Structure 1
Amino acid sequence: MRTHQVVLAHIEDDLAAGRIRLGDRLPGERALAERLGVSRPSVREAIKILEALGVIRTATGSGPEAGATVVADPAAGLGAALRLHVATDHVPVGDVVDLRLLVEGAAVRSAAARPAADGLDRATTLLDAMDAPGVDVATFLDLDGAFHVVLAEMSGNVLHAAVLAGIRGAVRAYIGQGAARAADWPTLADRLRAEHRAILRAVREGRADDAETAVRRHIEDFHRDTDGG
């Protein structure tokens, strides 16, 4: 085991055992290094990894906010990891589509069970922007992606939102390619607008089955109709 992994394992054990809790500050570099018999650079490396994973937040200085504080933001770490793996360009589009079907289907079911006014308002604002006269394709697709992320956030499950945010770049890439291949983009855009409204209406009215069916059909139909394979 590499030295920084010793530090990570120790902190993981402390978190699991409840010796360190949300909002607690980790011991300082020197204290951890002495306790574990490792170098301070190894502790520093472990702290950077924990911050990248969304487990802690660090602040410099000597005040009450200084040091490494446990914040537990799983969306940050999971989203970053997914983005990096998808960016390798070795994740097939079909795999991204399948993941969307699983995550977004479950997300809208949950959202329909607890339709939050704030989420509904944000989603509606995005759809209204997509309806604006003369909206260009790139802007339309960016708004489309943001709409789907909002739906995932409305589920109340931080992992739904984290996963969808993590693959957002891959989704944006394949829908952009699909839009470019579309024989009649204006007609396709009108269909997408109508489908988005139907999904949001089902969520707002608490129709979980209809919301899941609508979002799955929306994802599947776009992929089928614009797939270049």
Structure 2
Amino acid sequence: MTDQPRRSYDLLLENIEADLRSGAISLGDQLPGERTLAETYGISRASVREGIRILDAMGVLRSSSGSGPKSGAIIISEPSAGLSSALRLHMASSRLPVADIVQTRILLETWAAAAGAAQPPSDAADTALASAAALLEAMDAPGIEREAYHLLDAQFHVVLSSLAGNAVIETMMASLSGAISGYVQKAVDSMDDWPAVMTQLQHHHHGIYDAVAARRGDDAAKLLREHIQWFYLQIPREEKDGSS
């Protein structure tokens, strides 16, 4: 097997990584212009543009045209956005089966529920629980549309996962949620018995929230597992077959 040829923009990516690690650049900093970057790293401006586009897609940069302090390439950190995009593409190519994504969600969310219950009380936890309660109230609104319910549902799960206090788990949950958003929305839209499904989901969500709020980690983990598995079983077979 031959080595892959080194791409010229790799040098830009490696140096930005090194500068972030060393503290030479940090969140909110603006990168120099294309010409300066090209001269600094000895690569073409086309390679600089390609590297910037890749870092933008990865959620490391936010690039915009024009002039002023908010133009150009700004260092940010939104890892879930880049991971979600990559997961969606691999799911579309059938490389990552939806059933495996579901199993991964179960592993992450049940662990997060148990870990969250073991965390000492904090203002951050209180804020997260208040946010989860507000999302529950919004999902209980009479006549809520399917799309709105789905979006609130996804946020609810990510917020609960944040109680574990693990930034990587929270990022992975947000990424998985973003990756399957289109798939779940399509499945929800195809459900003829959606009102009954939504009623059951509301019951599940309140039970999960009550267990989390009472710091009953094992109960919350069990309810989350049953909830995720139950919803997956409600998805029409043709939807599963078309995305796995």
Aligned residue for 2:187?
177
**Alpha-carbon shift at residue 14 of structure 1 (Å):** 2.8
CA distance in 1, matches of 2:197, 2:58: 39
Contact 1:96 1:171 in 2 (8 A): no
CA distance in 1, matches of 2:9, 2:127: 42
Aligned residue for 1:79?
84
TM-score (norm 1): 0.79
**Pair 1:211 & 2:216 matched:** no
TM-score (norm 2): 0.75
CA distance in 1, matches of 2:189, 2:44: 53
Residues 144, 62 of structure 1: alpha-carbon distance in 2 compared, 3 angstrom cutoff = closer
**Alpha-carbon shift at residue 93 of structure 1 (Å):** 2.3
Q: Residues 92-113 of structure 1: CA distance to partner in whole angstroms, max 9, x if unpaired?
A: 2211111111222233334443
| Secondary structure at 2:154 match in 1 | helix
CA distance in 2, matches of 1:173, 1:67: 34
Residues 221, 26 of structure 1: alpha-carbon distance in 2 compared, 3 angstrom cutoff = same
Contact 1:129 1:143 in 2 (8 A): yes
**Alpha-carbon shift at residue 63 of structure 1 (Å):** 4.0
Contact 1:55 1:70 in 2 (8 A): yes
Identical counterparts, % of pairs: 42
Contact 1:74 1:159 in 2 (8 A): no
Q: CA RMSD in A?
A: 3.2
Q: Residues 46-99 of structure 1: CA distance to partner in whole angstroms, max 9, x if unpaired?
A: 122112212223355554444433223222322222233233344322111111
Aligned residue for 1:164?
173
Structure 1 gap ranges (5+):
none
Equivalent position to 1:196, from 202, 205, 218: 205
| Secondary structure at 2:9 match in 1 | helix
Equivalent position to 1:56, from 56, 61, 67: 61
CA distance in 2, matches of 1:51, 1:86: 21
2:59 is matched by which residue type in structure 1? G
Q: Residues 33-54 of structure 1: CA distance to partner in whole angstroms, max 9, x if unpaired?
A: 1222211121122122112212
CA distance in 2, matches of 1:85, 1:62: 36
CA distance in 2, matches of 1:135, 1:12: 44
| Secondary structure at 1:116 match in 2 | helix
CA distance in 2, matches of 1:163, 1:116: 19
Contact 1:51 1:57 in 2 (8 A): yes
Instruction: Decide which moves more: 39-48 or 82-91.
Output: 82-91
CA distance in 1, matches of 2:145, 2:40: 59
Aligned residue for 1:31?
36
| Secondary structure at 1:72 match in 2 | coil
| Secondary structure at 1:86 match in 2 | helix
Contact 1:28 1:67 in 2 (8 A): yes
**Alpha-carbon shift at residue 197 of structure 1 (Å):** 0.7
**Alpha-carbon shift at residue 193 of structure 1 (Å):** 1.6
Residues 222, 61 of structure 1: alpha-carbon distance in 2 compared, 3 angstrom cutoff = closer
Aligned residue for 2:3?
none
Residues 199, 34 of structure 1: alpha-carbon distance in 2 compared, 3 angstrom cutoff = same
CA distance in 1, matches of 2:63, 2:190: 43
CA distance in 2, matches of 1:180, 1:75: 27
Aligned residue for 1:69?
74
